[in-house]
């Protein structure tokens, strides 16, 4: 007789897709739990420094880098911290701070900065959910 019998109805190990979005909380892949106050669904465009008109510096005087995104400051004020995930959950941009404004950013649009041209091209334009962090 088997010393460690396996129950026939035991649940299979499930692969969890991260982040896990709950009511006012997000659990990241590393297990960190973030709290958010509200969400927005916006159109996002990927960009990098090699794109025409892009600079090394943001409108707020910080260095352009992954996580420093361009917003319409009348919609999302500079300095706003957020967590960004594509609407279908397939792409996690992650932590971001509103630090720049692009020429085509009006209303519910953002530009997501990527470190390389290849990453920028791969991410293109998509609808994202923005979770405004506490």
d(CA 53, CA 105): 13
User: Which tens digit of pLDDT belongs to each residue from 59-80?
Assistant: 999 998 999 999 999 999 999 9
**DSSP 8-state secondary structure symbol assigned to residue 106:** -
User: Which tens digit of pLDDT belongs to each residue from 94-119?
Assistant: 999 999 997 778 899 999 999 888 99
* Among 17, 70, 68, CA closest to 42: 70
* Among 30, 130, 23, CA closest to 85: 130
User: Which tens digit of pLDDT belongs to each residue from 33-61?
Assistant: 999 999 999 999 998 876 655 678 899 99
d(CA 126, CA 42): 9
d(CA 55, CA 40): 27
Residue 18: the pLDDT is 74
């Amino acid at each position: 007789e088997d010393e460690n019998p396996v129950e026939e109805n035991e649940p299979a190990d499930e692969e969890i897709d991260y982040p896990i979005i709950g009511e006012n909380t997000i659990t990241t892949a590393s297990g960190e739990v973030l709290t958010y106050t509200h969400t927005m669904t916006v159109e996002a465009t990927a960009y990098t420094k090699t794109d025409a008109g892009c600079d090394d510096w943001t409108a707020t005087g910080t260095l352009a880098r992954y996580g420093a995104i361009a917003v319409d400051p009348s919609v999302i004020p500079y300095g706003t911290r957020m967590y960004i995930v594509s609407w279908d959950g397939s792409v996690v941009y992650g932590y971001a701070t509103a630090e720049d404004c692009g020429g085509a950013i009006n209303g519910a649009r953002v530009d997501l900065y990527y470190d390389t041209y290849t990453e920028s091209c791969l991410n293109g334009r998509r609808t994202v959910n923005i979770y405004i962090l506490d």
